[in-house]
Amino acid sequence: MKTLLCFGDSNTWGFRPDSINAPHPERHALDVRWTGVLARELGPEWRVIEEGQNGRTTVHDDPLNVARNGKTYLPASLESHMPVDLVIMMLGTNDLKALHNLPPGEIAAGAAVLARMILGSAAGPGHRAPRLLLVSPPAIGDLTHLPDLAAKIPNGIERSRALPRYYEAVAATLGCAYLNSQEIVRPSLLDGIHLDAEDHEKLGLAMAAAVRKM
């Protein structure tokens, strides 16, 4: 059996858009989340591990949330699940927050730091590096109906849509596989950030197709 580690944020965790104003976030059912769809499509030969966390960034600490820095957690995650044959990494949405004040190119640079950590690790079979599928995160949608959220992610639509070209360049430089999620899914109209069940299905199918190509 091969091991596939999915390292991401709330869209990997499976955050339900209709819970954006709830006291506590709720998640899609396991078989609805794109990771569950991926596991279904790949079949019993693959063990798909979810490592999604709400608010996770690439390499930045969040002063308002504890333990959200992906760079800090990634090494432990790789070691915990080794040997890892393949990592799918989709991060960067939370780096768009105003408190980080980062342009799209620097967000991609943060993703590149994590990508190099994966490709330079000994967490794969035979103490070699796992393979990597780098995924640029979904675009931000209209947030005008959620003014508090819009203030946290200024110019979110424009800045998020600039990410794919930088992520693609990172993948080309590092020689890893790449997928642009923005060509596959759109954020929910409810909260402009997270994916509805229908788009989880689409993304899971696309991820499975990308893994097969690898």
Give the pair of three-digit tokens for residue 127: 């103490």
Give the model's pLDDT for residue 163: 98
> What is the domain partition of the chain in residue ranges?
2-213
Give the pair of three-digit tokens for residue 171: 């993948």
Give the model's pLDDT for residue 179: 98
The 3-state DSSP class for residue 19 equals helix
**Tens of pLDDT, residue by residue, the chain (214 residues):** 999 999 999 999 999 999 998 899 999 999 999 999 999 999 999 999 999 999 999 999 999 999 999 999 999 999 999 999 999 999 999 999 999 999 999 999 999 999 999 999 999 999 999 999 999 999 999 999 999 999 999 999 999 999 999 999 999 999 999 999 999 999 999 999 999 999 999 999 999 999 999 9
Give the pair of three-digit tokens for residue 29: 């059912």
> Alpha-carbon distance 57 to 94, whole Å?
5
CATH class of 2-213: alpha beta
Do residues 137 and 160 lie in contact, with contact meaning Cβ atoms separated by under 8 Å?
yes
* pTM for this model (two decimals): 0.97
Do residues 97 and 15 lie in contact, with contact meaning Cβ atoms separated by under 8 Å?
no
Placement of tokens 């430089």 in the chain: 173
Do residues 170 and 107 lie in contact, with contact meaning Cβ atoms separated by under 8 Å?
no
The 3-state DSSP class for residue 55 equals coil
Task: Please count the other Cβ atoms lying within 10 Å of the Cβ belonging to residue 182.
Answer: 18
Note if the bond before 83 is cis, omega within 30 degrees.
Answer: yes
Give the model's pLDDT for residue 169: 98
